Amino acid sequence: MAGTGDLGRRIIHHRERLGLTREQVAAHADMSPGYLKYLEENADTPDTGALYRLADALGTTVDDLLGGGQERPPGRGPATAHPSLETLEEAECLRLIEPGGIGRVAFNSSRGPTVLPVNYKMQHGAIVFRTATGGAMDQDLRTGLEGVDIVIAFQIDKIDEANREGWSVLVQGPAHHVPPEEATGVAGVGITPWAGGERQLYIRIVPSRVTGRRIHGM
């Protein structure tokens, strides 16, 4: 897909997010699967009517498909008229975060309360992410005492702005520095940090408390 433009990548992202086939999206958007394939694989933009139908089929907005508002924080739209807040069971929370992605870790650093985004994967029920050996996070998460770990928080959410729905999961637990003899096994989960660089230290969060909420319309 060397010719795929930003629109094509966003169409693919939303289609896969919803678990829909090209045929399903095309039928909802009143266009042929062949034309949808063309939009996904080529840097082109359809007419306004087709864009609105495509955005509706993908549960998003035309502005989002075209990349508008990428520099703005999510969730700026109004809340749904009658929101309902649901408490999630631990098993459901773990199911939601199981695919991995980008979450946030929160801890007390030498500079005060700190929240940082991290790419993570799940392995044997634990959250694993990478950081730089000898870096600020490495040092901040060490107690200096053998067998004593610092408890930190991990949070991830998913916001569906088009439907004014979403969920949030919070995990709390000790942050273990993965020892060198275990690093090869942990590396097998395939974590690639967006920040790049030499981030060869693996941190494992073993959940001790898992909570979550889901918000949706009545």
Each residue's pLDDT tens digit, 201-211: 999 999 999 99
Distance CA 86, CA 14 (A): 25
For the segment 9-20, the average pLDDT, to the nearest whole number, is: 90
- 156 burial type by CB count under 10 A (0-12 exposed, 13-18 middle, 19+ buried): buried
pLDDT band, residue 43 (cuts 50/70/90): confident
Mean pLDDT of the 188-195 span: 82
Q: What is the mean pLDDT of residues 35-64?
A: 89
Residue 162 to residue 73: CA distance in whole angstroms: 15
156 vs 162, higher pLDDT: 156
Question: Which residues partner with 155 through β-bridges?
Answer: 104, 170
Better pLDDT: 192 or 79: 192
CA 131 to chain centre: 18
Question: Has residue 157 got a pLDDT over 50?
Answer: yes
Task: Give the strand pairing for 209-217 and 201-205.
Answer: unpaired
The tokens describing 37, both together, are: 């394939």
* Domains, the chain, ordered by start: 6-65 (1.10.260.40), 83-217 (2.30.110.10)
How far apart CA 184 and CA 116 sit, in angstroms, is 25
- pLDDT band of residue 2 (cuts 50, 70, 90) is very low
User: Tell me: the pLDDT tens digits for 99-156?
Assistant: 999 999 999 998 999 999 999 999 999 999 999 989 899 999 998 887 788 999 999 9
**Max Cα separation, the chain?**
63
| 128 phi/psi in degrees, rounded to 5 | -125, 135
